[in-house]
Amino acid sequence: MLGLLGAFSWAVHDLCVRKVSATQGAFPPLVSVLVLGSLVALPLTLIWAEPATAPPGAYWRAIAAGVFYAVAGVGLYKALGIGPVRLVAPIIGAYPIVSMGLAAYSGSPLTIVHWLAVFVVIGGVAFIAISSDEGASDGDKAQAIGWSLLSGPGFAIAFALSQSATMLADEWTMLMPMRIAAIAATLLLALALREGLLPQRKSLWIFLIMGTLDVIAIVSVSAAGSFAYPEFAAVAASTFGLITVVLATIFLGERLRAPQWTAVVAVFAAIGSLGL
């Protein structure tokens, strides 16, 4: 459920990313979303965070998670800025392979049923995205693929690190170190790539909404670290690409055919099997 909450939040967030990144580039929206989301979350962290109880190792894991989250975010915004979503979403959505691989490496007892469920999720996401109507591309599709390949593993590693941090401390204590590290890393990447950072003022309200959704999503996935099999939240969250397409059918009038709806049902059934 935590993973699905993250997926829905990121799905709406990514619908906005496709619009703003195509016109403003990746870095102005990304920095704005990270900063504004942090400001929204700050009062909650002041109320619920317990920094005195967190060991140093938890902070270092959160900081490392923030760095990887920044790299993944840059890849996501760059890839969605180029598009089309049907090309980008399956590649980024395949990151659960890395998440489950990291879980297996850390000693989690995963069975063939778990892996089959993961591949149903990934296959369903890919089928929905690939079989959807072609979207407009605003650049070189090879570059979109490259940025997507950077984003997916970045998210997998960021989620694994954030969840390992919340095994040592609560998610609200870990949120701000992670986001501060993400903001700093994003600024350094923008400087290294000589990218602009100033957003359009008229878009700030959109960035505020996107930032709030981003905080909801990352807190949800990170909070799963206090439960058994936290990697399942990362798997469920990977359905953001599929949900984005489904939302487009509702709000943008893009129709799904019967085989695509079958894939939707299969993906959620696979997630349910992981939960059981």
Integer Cα distance of 128 and 244 in angstroms:
10
Length of the chain: 276
Cα-Cα-Cα-Cα torsion 97, 229, 34, 169, nearest 10 degrees, comes to: -140
User: How confident is the model at residue 181, as a pLDDT?
Assistant: 98
Q: What is the DSSP letter of 238?
A: T
pLDDT at 8 > cutoff 60: yes
Single out the residue of 171, 227, 150 nearest to residue 51, CA to CA: 171
Single out the residue of 217, 200, 253 nearest to residue 76, CA to CA: 217
Amino acid at 33: V
Query: How high does pLDDT run on average in the chain?
Result: 87
Integer Cα distance of 228 and 162 in angstroms:
15
Integer Cα distance of 267 and 269 in angstroms:
5
pLDDT at 40 > cutoff 90: yes
Q: Where are the alpha helices (DSSP H) in 194-239?
A: 204-223, 231-237
Task: Tell me the per-residue pLDDT of 116-137, one tens digit each, with 9 for 90 and over.
Answer: 988 888 888 888 777 766 555 5
Helix axes 204-223, 27-48, angle to 10 degrees: 50
| Helix, strand counts (H, E) of the chain | 12, 0
Integer Cα distance of 207 and 28 in angstroms:
10
Q: Are 187 and 197 in contact (CB under 8 A)?
A: yes
Task: Tell me the per-residue pLDDT of 43-55, one tens digit each, with 9 for 90 and over.
Answer: 999 999 999 889 9
State mean pLDDT over 105-122: 84
User: How confident is the model at residue 138, as a pLDDT?
Assistant: 62
Integer Cα distance of 231 and 207 in angstroms:
28
Single out the residue of 224, 220, 219, 240 nearest to residue 275, CA to CA: 224
Task: Tell me the per-residue pLDDT of 176-223, one tens digit each, with 9 for 90 and over.
Answer: 999 999 999 999 999 999 998 888 888 899 999 999 999 999 999 999
pLDDT at 254 > cutoff 70: no
Amino acid at 126: A
Integer Cα distance of 33 and 37 in angstroms:
6
Q: What is the DSSP letter of 26?
A: S
